[in-house]
Amino acid sequence: MNTENQYVTEQTPVRTLLETYKGAYRILICARISISPVMISYDEQLGSYLAPENKDEILQALSQLVKKEQKDLEQAPELKEQLVQPGKVNMAGFADFTWHDAFIAEMEKFADAEGISLNHQFFLKNNKKAFQFYLAQCENADDLPDILVGKGFSSLMTRRFVDRFVRAGNFDMPLQVEVNELWKQTGLYDATEQYHAFGAEEQVIMVDRTKSTDAPIPTRWSDLLKPEYKQSITQMGKPQRDHFGANMLFYLHEQYGEKGIRDYAHSVKFKWHFSKIIKDIGKNHPESSPFNVVQRYTTLFVRSDANVEVLSPEDGNPVSVFFCLVKKGSSEHVLQIARHFFSEQISNLLENAGAVSAYANSKIAANANIRWIGWETVKSSTLPYQKDDYSEIAFEEYDKQLTVDR
């Protein structure tokens, strides 16, 4: 193999590679290499995991990945200057596209009214990689903003981030805010006062009444794992090989293990972006399904005349969360900003975007039918590797049935 411009070799420390370059683990598991990223030591070399017959191919694929993503690493010093500015309340993270602009406008308005100098850096899908890389490499909490904002099962929940910063106590910061009763009933309130969930995004089942099916209307999420639902579901996501509805798989594995993931994948016929789902739903379209597993915000875009029903299963809709982490020992100005996440103003914009909010007097939260996987489950996970592991299990089953159908 020509080693010129080779970024990855057999001597490359494998754990450092996996923690630094987000796509490296997917390359290895797609090559059927069995590896446990959080269990291996930092001095183990990549070569000990590679077989002679495909070693060169894997090293080349990894080198191409590293070369492509190197530019994000080079931005780290510049990014630190943007994220941590002296004399300001520094806030950074990820916001959902459905409420990103309104959220920033509200936080700026609040900061101005309170005389707080606010520096905010939020990263949408098209520019989030640089910040994800920054978080994956950061060694010192001083290099992180005062407030980190996250959504879903994200870069702020990885095993590395939790072990290095959360369990170490860097974000043990009570906010002393009131939350609604739902937060306490479902466990969305983190009793350790580390992750402060201010909102939740439901997964829901939308029934397309124009699609005929012999399967009964599901009354529980677990119904979707039954044989009679074979190829009756469209899963929101990307049609190509990517995370197979990561939120859904997280819940399935927690409750039903690997078999639950396989049974669910057996029921999935299509994986489409939400825009295609809402375009085709209610039209008896050949590329749509009677049952559609989507994020709640998708329902806001469905045509008013579409013959569609959103179910309310007995076991509650699984949720992912919108949350913040606040540095231990933060100033009163930092706490003022963080507490505003739980205000009526933020509640209104979240709920207008189809989410549920933590606001103490939220009427939507009072009537919500949801369940949460649990903060200890999140903190003990092997994210981000877990997403790839579960997705590979799902795709193995999904591809198997596609092959049979051909």
- The answer to whether position 236 is within a domain reads yes
Are 98 and 152 contacting, i.e. CB atoms less than 8 angstroms apart? no
- The answer to whether position 268 is within a domain reads yes
Question: Which pLDDT value is given to residue 72?
Answer: 66
How is residue 76 written in tokens? 């780290």
Q: How many CB atoms lie within 10 A of CB 402?
A: 12
Q: Nearest Cα to 344, choosing from 327, 331, 361, 363? A: 361
Question: Which pLDDT value is given to residue 65?
Answer: 87
User: Along the chain (406 residues), what's the average pLDDT of each consecutive run of 10 residues?
Assistant: 66 88 85 82 88 90 86 76 96 95 97 98 84 89 97 92 96 97 97 97 98 97 97 89 84 96 96 95 97 97 95 97 98 98 98 97 96 96 90 88 60
- The answer to whether position 300 is within a domain reads yes
Q: Nearest Cα to 206, choosing from 296, 124, 122, 75? A: 296
- Confidence (pTM): 0.89
- The answer to whether position 4 is within a domain reads no
Residues 158 and 222 in one domain: no
Residues 337 and 192 in one domain: yes
Are 290 and 215 contacting, i.e. CB atoms less than 8 angstroms apart? yes
Residues 29 and 145 in one domain: no
Residues 251 and 285 in one domain: yes
CATH number, residue 261: 3.40.190.10
Residues 107 and 196 in one domain: yes
Residues 278 and 397 in one domain: yes
DSSP 157-186: SSHHHIIIIITTTTT---------HHHHHH
- The answer to whether position 147 is within a domain reads yes
Residues 401 and 268 in one domain: yes
How is residue 204 written in tokens? 């829901």
Residues 215 and 337 in one domain: no
- The answer to whether position 3 is within a domain reads no
- Four-residue CA torsion sign, 145, 146, 151, 157: positive
Question: Which pLDDT value is given to residue 402?
Answer: 64
d(CA 67, CA 59): 12
Question: Which pLDDT value is given to residue 127?
Answer: 75
Buried/exposed 168-177: b ≥16 CB within 10 Å, e otherwise: eebbbbebeb
Domain limit, last residue, from 74, 93, 124: 74
Residues 190 and 283 in one domain: no
Question: Which pLDDT value is given to residue 15?
Answer: 87
Q: Nearest Cα to 118, choosing from 142, 85, 149? A: 85
Residues 145 and 289 in one domain: no
Residues 282 and 400 in one domain: yes
Question: Which pLDDT value is given to residue 5?
Answer: 54
First to last CA, the chain: 37
Q: pLDDT tens, 327-346?
A: 999 999 999 999 999 999 99
Q: Where are the beta strands (DSSP E) in 306-391?
A: 308-310, 317-326, 356-357, 370-371
The count of domains in the chain is: 3
Helix (H, G, I), strand (E, B) or coil at 395: helix
Angle at 267 between CA 369 and CA 27, to 5 degrees: 100
CA 249 to chain CA mean position, Å: 11
Q: Say if residue 212 is exposed, middle or buried (CB neighbours under 10 Å; 0-12, 13-18, 19+).
A: exposed
Helix (H, G, I), strand (E, B) or coil at 282: coil
- The answer to whether position 9 is within a domain reads no
- The answer to whether position 8 is within a domain reads no
How is residue 339 written in tokens? 């507490």
d(CA 292, CA 312): 13
The DSSP bridge partners found for residue 234 are 270, 292
Question: Which pLDDT value is given to residue 124?
Answer: 83
Q: How many CB atoms lie within 10 A of CB 260?
A: 19
Question: Which pLDDT value is given to residue 70?
Answer: 76
Residues 172 and 305 in one domain: no
Range of the domain at 108: 77-200+319-380
Pure H helices in 285-343:
332-340
Domain limit, last residue, from 41, 59, 74: 74
The DSSP bridge partners found for residue 370 are 317
